[in-house]
Structure 1
Amino acid sequence: MSKQLQARRLEGIDHNPWVEFTRLSKEYDVVNLGQGFPDFSPPDFAVQAFQQATTGNFMLNQYTSAFGYPPLTKILASFFGKLLGQEMDPLKNVLVTVGAYGALFTAFQALVDEGDEVIIIEPAFNCYEPMTMMAGGRPVFVSLRLVFSKKELELVAALCQQHDVLCFSDEVYQWLVYDGHQHISIASLPGMWERTLTIGSAGKSFSATGWKVGWVMGPDNIMKHLRTVHQNSIFHCPTQAQAAVAQCFEREQQHFGQPSSYFLQLPQAMGLNRDHMIQSLQSVGLKPLIPQGSYFLIADISDFKSSMPDLPGAMDEPYDTRFAKWMIKNKGLSAIPVSTFYSQPHHKDFDHYIRFCFVKDKATLQAMDKRLCSWKGEPQA
């Protein structure tokens, strides 16, 4: 064809680092510590809820309400309403989406207009920039320091109100916090509910990322625009997965704050995994930073950058990317370069970190230990 085939909104966003690193991890015999998914079973109650959804009420094989299975939107409104200090209407303040990814895409399409500036705090999940650009917006990047306190969050909230800015808050890891730290939803701060979309994920909440059930919550005057995008795109999310998630939240609401709550048990277990990984990585000279939350820890590779600077790779390829590929091919360990989560102009400032996922089965961590034990002395390219 003589004319350009792809839509202009796809220009410059065709490369995806996950595709490349997933391919490399499959090509080589690696312990995959790069991608953020658990390789252990969801809790028994979640598995049972899904089984019941697929074998019980046969009508769960059919369409449900376009904006969310009613029992799910009802429990989400009740559960998160208490946390955010809001009386939430399941029909007006909650939208169920195909994962948190779907919630983000719907929000960008509904609210970002041609030429709008979108402030992205980096490191950021690398879908934010292409989603901004597909909506016609212009990404503006602000780099985060190693510490992010409640005081700084309050400053962000004050700036949003001062400049009449909407806030998209991706809170999929809200239950994964460690060492006594507490997650703070920005929508719970004074004056922020009215201008904030809070995005969550059942996959991250219940260790079932393949279910792809997410949600977005916010005031009706904003949410109605997301519903317009939703009804004119996917229209409806799979019913059975929503039914299973509804049961999981009903169970968690009964156990919330108690030792039997999965939202307490999961971070306790993953905190031990985190500490295990930190100790193991230190044994080969990697310098992990201790994370307060999420699935991931970041390791400083500055010493390797000094001792082995000339790793194979393209001239313009950041050092951490070359190191991650070298580690896959030579050490049998997969991690993700942190520069991936920064904008192009900032790659050079953050090319001495790599990211590991510690939300893994005990057997995976033991396999990691074996690879690290064989990594003796000063590594050579």
Structure 2
Amino acid sequence: MKEGACSVIDYTSILSQKVQQIPPSGIRKFFDIANEMDHVISLSIGEPDFTTPWHVRQEGIRSLEGGKTWYSPNRGFAELREEIARWFLRKYHLEYKADNQVLVTVGGSEAIDLCIRALINPGEEVLVPQPSFVCYVPLTQMVGGAPVIVETKAEDRFRLTPEALEAKITPKTKLLVLPFPNNPTGAVMRRKDLEAIAAVVKKHNLMVLSDEIYSELTYGGEPHVSFAEIDGMKERTVVVNGFSKAFAMTGWRLGYALGPVEIIGQMTKLHQYAIMSAPSTAQYAAIEAMKNGDGDIASMREQYDLRRRLIVDGFNRMGLTCFEPEGAFYVFPCIRSTGLDSEAFCEKLIYSERVAVVPGPAFGACGEGFVRVSYSYSIKHITEALKRIEHFLKELHA
């Protein structure tokens, strides 16, 4: 080799095989395309278009102005953990001890990761209802667990049924993921639905990861029911939630987990080594949000509800069947009537009409024939997007 020449490194032989086998998130593709085009209306990312409420931002600002920039305790500031515990007692009549049953994390995503890593040994099975958020399967694979897909169906309003769950359980099954209210479908599990699932969980001695990040965005008059509220489930459940969706605090990156002392203890140990502590500034803001943010949630939820009804009516009117979601801020219309698969539909739509949505299979293979559309955008943007989509359909069938 000549002096100064660089050797060629085969990185595929160096990198983790598990990581290489995991595909990148399908959510970001059309968002990235949209960012490179002009005049695009992107309904592809699940991020509130509201600004974090001013009184919440003020607390973050005050903490910085006061020089409160030090590490927090590993579990999170005691005051925040106490507020989280009070929140769950007030809303769900669930009693958690702030000192050892609450863990503050960097977003709800970290809490999900910690829960799976703390519970799953290589070869053990994790039941993942799909369509659902993209992280559960790869996080299970990265610890050597075996994800088992439980398909939810439009005719069941994308709710998990006890029959579908029972059919997938084997002697290796250990953990059930409950992602409700659901991203991408907007499906909600009401109390009677959860009670039916709880009977199966108890019968087979399963543990549950209940991802309730959209708990405050539930519509139709019935409030959200936490799975831990169901008789006998608190001891079996790690509840994951956070501040991103309810308080429009996505960029603050703050979430939390509640659960049995033994599980939260092991999750905290992993958190200590991987992250150490969540951002201090975000925690000071979150304390204010939990203390005085109920009105903000109600106001944002009311606006989301208006958008929800507008977009559902719009899709059904133009012939793209769309069941009425009862939670989160997504609709999941069926596009099979167009004759296109989900990927082709999204590609043709963005290039011809400058509207970005996400193919259903990004959330699991059973999402084929659907697209995810977020209504966490203004009425003006949604109205214009619906006009463009309707024009797209007319041109497609011309």
TM range (shorter): 0.7 to 0.9
Q: CA deviation at 1:369?
A: 4.7
Q: Deviations over 1:122-158 (max 9, x none)?
A: 1111110000000110001111233334333212212
How far apart, CA to CA, are the structure 2 residues paired with 1:123 and 1:376?
A: 25
How far apart, CA to CA, are the structure 1 residues paired with 2:393 and 2:356?
A: 18
Is the partner of 2:103 in helix, strand or coil?
strand
Q: Does 1:35 align with 2:76?
A: no
Q: Does 1:266 align with 2:266?
A: no
Q: Report if the CA contact (8 A) 1:40-1:361 is conserved.
A: no
Is the partner of 1:61 in helix, strand or coil?
coil
Q: Deviations over 1:167-215 (max 9, x none)?
A: 0000000010112132111101111110100000101110121111000
Give, as a single letter, the amino acid of the residue that structure 1 aligns with 2:331: L
Q: Report if the CA contact (8 A) 2:126-2:148 is conserved.
A: yes
Q: Does 1:76 align with 2:84?
A: yes
Give, as a single letter, the amino acid of the residue that structure 2 aligns with 1:50: G
How far apart, CA to CA, are the structure 2 residues paired with 1:126 and 1:376?
A: 28
Q: Does 1:377 align with 2:394?
A: yes
Structure 1 265/181 Cα, relative in aligned 2: closer, same or farther at 3 Å? same
Residue 256 (structure 2) aligned to one of 194, 212, 215:
215
Q: Deviations over 1:208-262 (max 9, x none)?
A: 211110000011011111011111110111101111011110114xxx5xxxx22
Q: Does 1:356 align with 2:373?
A: yes
How far apart, CA to CA, are the structure 2 residues paired with 1:366 and 1:350?
A: 25
Q: Which residue of 2 aligns with 1:156?
A: 197
Q: CA deviation at 1:64?
A: 1.2
Give, as a single letter, the amino acid of the residue that structure 1 aligns with 2:126: V
Give, as a single letter, the amino acid of the residue that structure 1 aligns with 2:357: A
Q: CA deviation at 1:39?
A: 2.3
Residue 96 (structure 2) aligned to one of 63, 66, 88:
88
User: TM-score under structure 1 normalisation?
Assistant: 0.87
Identical counterparts, % of pairs: 27
The CA RMSD measured in Å over matched residues stands at 2.0
Structure 1 86/374 Cα, relative in aligned 2: closer, same or farther at 3 Å? closer
Q: Report if the CA contact (8 A) 1:98-1:237 is conserved.
A: yes
Aligned length: 355
Q: Which residue of 1 aligns with 2:106?
A: 98
Q: CA deviation at 1:279?
A: 3.2
How far apart, CA to CA, are the structure 1 residues paired with 2:33 and 2:227?
A: 38
Q: CA deviation at 1:366?
A: 4.4
Residue 336 (structure 2) aligned to one of 302, 305, 314:
302
Q: Which residue of 2 aligns with 1:331?
A: 353
User: TM-score under structure 2 normalisation?
Assistant: 0.84
Q: Report if the CA contact (8 A) 2:25-2:362 is conserved.
A: no
Q: Which residue of 1 aligns with 2:54?
A: 44
Q: Does 1:277 align with 2:278?
A: no
Q: Which residue of 1 aligns with 2:274?
A: 233
Q: CA deviation at 1:160?
A: 1.6
Give, as a single letter, the amino acid of the residue that structure 2 aligns with 1:24: I
Q: Which residue of 2 aligns with 1:313?
A: none
How far apart, CA to CA, are the structure 2 residues paired with 1:363 and 1:211?
A: 27
How far apart, CA to CA, are the structure 1 residues paired with 2:30 and 2:59?
A: 33
Residue 171 (structure 1) aligned to one of 212, 236, 259:
212
Q: CA deviation at 1:367?
A: 3.8
